[in-house]
Amino acid sequence: MKKKKLKKPFFSIVTVVKNDEANIEKTIRSIITQNFKNFEYIIIDGKSTDKTIKKIKKFKNKISYILSEKDKGIYFAMNKGINIAKGNVLLFVNSGDLLTQNALNIIYKLFLKNREIDFVFGTVKRHYTSNTLIKSGYNKFRLNYNFDFATSHSTGFFIKLASLNKVGKFNTKYKCSADYDFYYRAIIKKKLKGISTNKNKIIGIMKSGGHSSKFNFFQHLLEESNIRYSNGQNFLLIFIIFFNAIIKFTLKKIF
């Protein structure tokens, strides 16, 4: 389902969803009520069998592109969104996550003021199973040994489409951490430049229980180690990171 597109929207916002009738509507509302209006909105649905599509169609006049078909997982769907996007800057806001009302306006001004940058990390309120944290900033040095180096991908990571194309799309061989692989390629290998919003300017809100929560600690650790190895990181350093994570996990279980 296609709608009339802007000649050149500043933002392309992509929402990936499958069978999430409980949350999709509030995600859509958080986007279409933005104060900043120069964006296209793309929804990629994995052929939902509940009422998700019915709820999406309530807002069809506000959505630029709706695609509903079977796919092989979230990163396949996200790559479809990238293929469709025509804006200057790309953002994912997946089902259940929200943008604050002035989010796009804040990020737009940052890109205008800092024309040389490739990306912006926005401050995000992240809901976890047992607590809620405000995550702000990013530390590219920390990325060398810990993938918890920034705010979040959904709602928090804005990247110029031209810069993304230099890096490439998500590697779909990774099932739970393809975004980490993308970060490593973008920031460490391609040396893209970025900034972050002030801590007091919350851009996005992430609900708990996202895609990555479906995988256990060891699945995450093995995939993250494989990402580092495949990107040519020093094997000894990967070995140290791997066993340090095992030790921390074991001590947390004991104590």
pLDDT score recorded for residue 254: 85
| Contact by Cβ (8 Å): 203, 155 | yes
Q: Tell me the mean pLDDT in the region 124-146.
A: 92
Contacts of 88 (CB under 8 A, 6+ apart): 8, 9, 10, 11, 111, 160, 161, 162
Q: Report the alpha-carbon distance of residue 209 to residue 199 in Å, rounded.
A: 24
Beta bridge partners of 205: 98, 125
Strands 65-68 and 123-127: unpaired
Q: What is the pLDDT of residues 6-48, one digit of tens each?
A: 568 999 999 999 999 999 999 999 999 999 999 999 999 999 9
3-state secondary structure of 175: coil
Which among 64, 63, 18 has a CA at the least distance from the CA of 45? Answer: 18
Query: At which residue do the structure tokens 């099932």 appear?
Result: 175
Res. 131: pLDDT tops 90: no
What is the pLDDT, as a whole number, of residue 3? 55
Q: Is the pLDDT of residue 134 over 90?
A: yes
Q: Are 206 and 134 in contact (CB under 8 A)?
A: no
Whether the pLDDT of residue 212 is over 70: the answer is no
CATH topology of domain 11-213: Spore Coat Polysaccharide Biosynthesis Protein SpsA; Chain A (3.90.550)
Classify residue 231 by its DSSP letter: T
Interatomic CA distance for residues 148 and 164, integer angstroms: 21
Segment 158-197, tens digit of pLDDT: 999 999 999 999 999 999 999 999 999 999 999 999 999 9
Task: Look at residues 140, 146, 142 and name the one whose alpha carbon lies nearest to residue 224.
Answer: 146
